[in-house]
Chain A
Amino acid sequence: MAAEVLRMIPTKESVELDDRQLVEQIRQGDDRAFEMLVRRKTSKVYGLCYRVIGNSEDAKDISQLVFLKLWENLEKYDATYAFDTWLYRMVTNVAIDFMRSKQSRDNAVNSNLRLVKTSIDPEQTVTVARKEVESVFNAVSNVLSPKQKTIFVMSEMEDLRSSEIAKVLGCRESTVRNHLFNARKLMQTQLKRRFPEYARLWEESR
């Protein structure tokens, strides 16, 4: 008897709704379902925004904007497609728009400024620290276009396949691979110029 009762109590997995079911509940006017969805997707959305934008406060604002857009456009979501693809598309659109406007603002302000990097001795032994990699990434990824950077982040850090990125961005897989190739090349050139101590890693491994 006790075993039967136990079997009837739903486990957490069986109760937890998947993304599509949550969307359905939100469409029926359930605000708590939306809160659940936001909580579930915050790390994903904020993480991608943070990697692409490179600034925690801007990334937070953009993430909130993404969720607000999500709330506004939830009626347009077609449940035959993966929810994450649709969400990623929204994130990349908003983040790329933000990056473009930020780049044009920065260009206007810094048109006469040139970054002078004082790097450490290239012959010095390389000890890689994660925080350092992050700051190097933020420094060298500025040469990428917003789209290139978004593709690079989705591929290298979010581990999305080219086919998935193509679906998110609504372009061909070959276009994604092309952007990725160019992005890697640009990043390595920048590393060589501004952080020769790390560029040595590639030269040594050849």
Chain B
Amino acid sequence: MKLALFIPCYIDAFFPEVGIATLELLERLGCSVEYPLDQTCCGQPMANSGCQDDAAPAEAQLVRCFQGFDTVVGPSGSCVHHVRFHLDAIEQTPQTQKVRGSTRELVEFLHDDLKVEAFPWASFPHKVGLHNSCTAVRGLGHARPSERVNDLYFSKTGDLLGKVQGLELVEIDRPDECCGFGGSFCVTDEAVSAKMGYDKVQDFYRHGVEYIASADMSCLLHMKGVIDRLNLPLKVIHIAQILNGGPL
């Protein structure tokens, strides 16, 4: 399957290993992956602040980069959610609509599109706390939101991780409470963001988690910042890295 790789700006800058793992994983699963070099950012930081005018150039650049592809895959729930649901600072031309409709997040691509049955190369004998970001759960439908008490439980991320040898998923007290990253919220509402991050990290730590795993590196970036400040023996890892089975 031929597809384009969408690497969010902060992953390009700070977590290239997540991009590498995503690329390698997709190739292992038989995809032919191209990485358009001129991609920058999906526009989310500006759009989330309500600044449509400031978001438009980045959004236009994204469409320019990806309009030639039938499928775009990116390892970020919040960025993909922005593309599919909020990329409207620019004119909704046929190309724009096509790019918006064909952008897939990694977990949903693996689980729903490729329907991957196994990751035979992957082994991860650790206690893992799964963090489904808010956009992943309530925006993209990665798992049943805890508010939907009577809905049947499901978790796409849990299903994928369940196929990794040795991996032990650990439940925490507040499984889908927001970690507090929230985009520029993390600095504009610093006290609340930090407290939310502290509470979230403590919840994982209390339950004996070794690795916090997520499909959203932005949440992990925030939680890692807290972990490092508190000097806790916790590590963060992107799901792509686990599923790829490669060096961490």
Q: Tell whether A and B belong to one assembly.
A: no
Q: Which residues of A contact B (CB under 8 A)?
A: none
